[in-house]
Each structure stands twice: as C-alpha cells, then as structure tokens.
Homo-oligomer: A and B are copies of this chain.
Amino acid sequence: MSRTDEVVNGIKRMILEGTFKPGDRLPIEKDLAESLGVSRGSLREGMSALSILGIVNIRQGDGTYITNLDAPQLLAPMGFVVDFQGQGDARHIHTVRRLLECEAARLAATRITDEALAQAGDLLDEAARIAGRSPQDHERIMEIDIAFHRIIAVHADNPVLVGLIEAFAGRTLRGRLWRSLHEEGADRRTHDEHVAILRALVARDPERARTRMANHLIGVEESLQELPDDTDTNGENGGA
C-alpha cells in the first residue's frame, strides 16, 4: 500500500474511530505528516484525494477541516460515473435512477410538507408560463425540472437516497435527455406528467405517486432511445 493510501485510510480510520469529528480542524500539514510517518508531499497527495472525495475541506491560509460528512456531499464525486457510463449507454444509469426516484416519490407522499407541496406547485406554474412564451428559456425549464425532482427526493427523508438521486440525475445526464426531448416537442407531456405526480403527492397517496413517477421516467427513457428493453414498470401497477 502506497504512502498516499496510508494517509487516506489513516484519516478515514481516525474519523470512524471518533478522533476527528465533522467540523473539526485537522493538525497542520507538518504535524499531521509527522504523526502519520510520511513526508508533506505524500500527505498532501492523500489530503488532496480526501478533498476530492468530499471528506475534508482544505482552505488556503486557514486550515483543513472535516466536512459535515453528509451523504449528498460524499456521493457527489460519483457524478463522473454517470458522465462516463452514460456516454454510450444510459440505459443502466436510468434504470437505477428510475428505481431511486420511484421510491422517493412513494416515501415523499406520506412525509412531504404542505410548504414543499406549495413550492412544487409554484415551480410547475412557472414552467407552464415559460412554455407559453415564444422564446422558451430551456435552461430555466431544466432548472425547474431538477428542482421539482429534488423537492420530492428531499422529502423522502432519507439523505442517502437524496445523495444518490442527486448524483444520478445530474446536469450532464439531464442535459442530454432534455436535448432529445425538446427536439420532439415533448415539453407538454413532461409537464403534464409532473402535474400528475404533484396531484398524487397532494393526495398523500404513495402508490399513486410512485406509479406517476414511474410513468414519467419511463416516458423519458423511451424518448431517449427506442430500444424496447425490459422496462416493465417495476410491476407497480396498482390494479392487476
């Protein structure tokens, strides 16, 4: 194991053991390197990796701090997986995304607050207004879409789920999806599906919310590629 790995694992272990807690300031590079038995260069290589992983926050002129270590931040680096894997074949990525967001919608139905429902409604209203104007602000439409899905994810009350959804519904993938969707002029259908999801949430009906979300994302997947695939709707159809 290289010195760099020793640094990374050493800091990780110290965090897990409680030596360092979120928000703590780490010893200065010189001391930390000495206590780990490595040179400053090797220490910096390790700390750099920890910084990229979202575990520590390095501030020049100040010091190095442990982040809050919440799931969304730690899962953010995973975005590259989506960026790369999604290049040739977004099917697998989107299958997972659908799974995650359907569950989020189901959970959110019974947990979402009235304020959040109002916010989501406002977002959809704004989207409807933009859709009516002539020079449609696609950028803003995309932001609204992301915000709408985010509200649902957050109110599933599971930070891990939120982190995964954020990573898997990142701007890159969204951008690709929206490009193809807009060319088909499918904005209207997408908006109607969002409204349907919101109605299910307002009704506090988990299975309905889940089904609406599944329907929405399957629609997106079909627009993305005409491959029939094996997307059989998770078997969530409430009836048969």
In the complex, the answer to whether A77 meets B77 with C-beta atoms within 8 Å is yes
Interface flag for A144 (CB, 8 Å): no
Q: Copies per complex?
A: 2
One digit per residue, 1 when the CB lies within 8 angstroms of any chain B CB and 0 when it does not, for chain A 20-45 equals: 00000000000000000000010011
Q: Which residue from chain B places its CB closest to the CB of A106 in the assembled complex?
A: B235
Instruction: Give chain B residues whose Cβ lies under 8 Å from the Cβ of A136.
Output: none
- Selected from B4, B15, B95, B206, the residue in CB contact (under 8 A) with A48 is B4
Stretch at the interface among A82-90, A195-203, A220-228: A82-90
- Selected from B51, B92, B100, B206, the residue in CB contact (under 8 A) with A159 is B92
Interface flag for A120 (CB, 8 Å): no
- Selected from B84, B99, B100, B160, the residue in CB contact (under 8 A) with A93 is B160
Q: Which residue from chain B places its CB closest to the CB of A45 in the assembled complex?
A: B48
Instruction: Give chain B residues whose Cβ lies under 8 Å from the Cβ of A235.
Output: 106, 206-207, 210
Rounded to whole angstroms, the CA-CA distance of A164 and B107 in the bound complex is 20
In the complex, the answer to whether A80 meets B12 with C-beta atoms within 8 Å is yes
Interface flag for A131 (CB, 8 Å): no
- Selected from B83, B159, B164, the residue in CB contact (under 8 A) with A16 is B83
Stretch at the interface among A67-75, A145-153, A178-186: A67-75
In the complex, the answer to whether A92 meets B45 with C-beta atoms within 8 Å is no
Rounded to whole angstroms, the CA-CA distance of A75 and B55 in the bound complex is 16
Rounded to whole angstroms, the CA-CA distance of A75 and B164 in the bound complex is 11
Q: Which residue from chain B places its CB closest to the CB of A60 in the assembled complex?
A: B2
Interface flag for A166 (CB, 8 Å): no
- With contacts A84-B15, A235-B206 taken as known, whether A77 is within 8 angstroms of B99 at the C-beta atoms is no
- With contacts A78-B74, A92-B158, A164-B96 taken as known, whether A84 is within 8 angstroms of B69 at the C-beta atoms is yes
Interface flag for A116 (CB, 8 Å): no
Q: Which residue from chain B places its CB closest to the CB of A107 in the assembled complex?
A: B230
Interface flag for A8 (CB, 8 Å): yes
Interface flag for A52 (CB, 8 Å): yes
In the complex, the answer to whether A74 meets B83 with C-beta atoms within 8 Å is no
Could you jot down 24 A-B contacts, CB within 8 Å? Answer: A4-B48, A4-B51, A4-B52, A12-B83, A16-B83, A49-B52, A49-B53, A52-B53, A53-B53, A69-B84, A71-B85, A74-B80, A74-B85, A78-B78, A81-B160, A81-B163, A92-B158, A96-B160, A96-B161, A96-B164, A99-B103, A106-B235, A164-B164, A206-B235
